[in-house]
Amino acid sequence: MKIVFTAKGENWDSPMDPRFGRMDMLVVYDEDSDKLEAIPNNETEMMEHGAGLQTAQKVLDLNPDIIITGNGAGQKALEILKRSNVKMYTGAGEMSLKEAYEAFKDGKLQAQF
Amino acid sequence: MKVLEEDKAEEKLTIGVLTTKMKLTIASGKGGTGKTTVSANLTSYLASMGKKVVLADLDVEEPNSALFIKSDLKNTKICNKMVPVWESENCTLCGECARVCNFNAIVALPSEILVFPELCHSCYACSELCPTNSLPMNPIKIGEIKEYEAENFSFVEGRLDLGQEMAVPLIAQTIEYTDENFKEHIKIFDAPPGTSCPVIEASRGSDFVLLITEATPFGLNDLKLAAQTMRVLKQNFGVIINRDGIGDENVQRYCQDENIPIVTKIKNDKEVAKLYSKGELIYPKISHFKNSLDEIVEFIGGIK
């Protein structure tokens, strides 16, 4: 299973970024290969509008099964994400990536859709 | 237009002669500094002096001048903007539309094209560059312009529909409506706050911009941003210090250092706030406020 975390850093000890559209970093964890990959998302800093849309498309290009985030995505980003099979889990905004992953496995995060 | 000059003999600032067609924008960096209070009162005051004057509320995201003006509705105009509409029939899903959009308004998914009209700037790039003509432009309603008749002046208001994000097209249409329908009037434009596109649209066609601020660190910070914006626009501008007496001397010092004229200082006065909160005009009841309006009128070249 492929999981995307909205993160402020690149590794398991990094804090989560509670924001979706303007997250600092997409961290992708592939459970099958046990590989962690970080993709910067800093181009959204300069976008006045539409950051959520661009990030949503970027996430979908990775073809993940799960997104773990804090506050959840905004209305427009959701419109895009819901057209794929990805599932989003929220409420991990204050955790580290490791804690967020464990909380998800323990079923402690809410499914946004 | 006129070159800014100081009339040394009378120690009065002036920008020349108030023409019947003058366009004056009242703006600010910081919100809540008194744009609407000054706009509504200045308009009414000029009208009371026998001038033909129209006030246009360009703060289309949350217009509020109407709260201070008793007036009757005369005309309503529906405002549209052009946005692309996706036609799937001939589309090859090549994604060129999404690539050429500078405003993130189009997302190309593997099986469909999504258009987000709220983000569209009506630039036509996607529509024109689509190889299969699958994105024809269609009008959608974004808001309304309303024209009102007050006792002795006219009032125009642009109001964006709920959920619409693009203020600039409606601001441009509100200015155009005012220009076309009030050719021989002095035009007072009540601008939105800030320093971004809406303020630029509300300021760039005007003869002069009055920036209202207060002498606080926040006021100064945002005044600097607004002043920089006006300089980029090569726009003539001056400053009104509102709620004078609070804060510190730094706004005044900044204006002196930068050679920005301080048109007037409006005293900090609880009675002004009381009248404002009741939606009443200030100058008929408070003389120091009226004196400040006189200084503005004198500055813009009106004859007392």
Picking from B112, B119, B196, the nearest residue to A50 by CB comes out as B119
Structurally, at CATH architecture level, domain B86-135 sits in: 2-Layer Sandwich (3.30)
Picking from A49, A60, A79, the nearest residue to B104 by CB comes out as A49
Whether A49 and B107 lie within 8 Å, measured CB to CB: no
pLDDT, position B15: 61
Picking from A51, A76, A83, the nearest residue to B116 by CB comes out as A76
Taking alpha carbons only, the member of B232, B230, B260, B63 closest to residue B146 is B63
pLDDT, position A112: 85
The yes or no reply on domain B5-80+142-299 and CATH 3.30.43.10 is no
Per-residue pLDDT 10s for chain B (304 aa) are: 444 444 443 445 566 666 668 999 999 988 899 999 999 999 999 999 999 999 999 999 999 999 889 999 999 999 999 999 999 999 999 999 999 999 989 999 888 999 999 889 999 999 999 999 999 999 999 999 999 999 999 999 999 999 888 899 999 999 999 999 999 999 999 999 999 999 999 999 999 999 999 999 999 999 999 999 999 999 999 999 999 999 999 999 999 999 999 999 999 999 999 999 999 999 999 999 999 999 999 998 854 4
Share of chain A above pLDDT 90, in %: 83
| Residue A51, φ and ψ in degrees, nearest 5 | -65, -40
pLDDT, position B302: 58
Domain locations in chain B as residue ranges: 5-80+142-299, 86-135
Domain locations in chain A as residue ranges: 2-111
Q: Which CATH number fits domain A2-111: 3.30.1360.200, 2.60.120.260, 3.30.420.130, 3.40.50.150?
A: 3.30.420.130
Chain A residues touching B109 at Cβ < 8 A: 57, 60, 80, 83
pLDDT, position A93: 95
Asked if the C-beta of A54 comes within 8 angstroms of chain B's C-beta atoms, the answer is yes
* Separation CA A85–CA A89 (nearest Å): 13
Asked if residues A29 and A35 have their Cβ atoms less than 8 Å apart, the reply is yes
Residues of chain A with pLDDT under 70: none
CA atoms within 13 A on the CB side of B245: 6
Whether A54 and B104 lie within 8 Å, measured CB to CB: yes
pLDDT, position B2: 43
Compute CA distances B214 → A8, B188, B262, B295, whole Å. Answer: 38, 21, 12, 17
Chain A residues touching B116 at Cβ < 8 A: 50, 53, 76
Asked if the C-beta of A71 comes within 8 angstroms of chain B's C-beta atoms, the answer is no
* Separation CA B68–CA A59 (nearest Å): 49
With a threshold of 0.85, tell me whether the complex ipTM lies above it.
no
Whether B116 and A56 lie within 8 Å, measured CB to CB: no
pLDDT, position A46: 79
What 8-state DSSP symbol labels residue B119? G
Residue for token pair 């026998």: B50
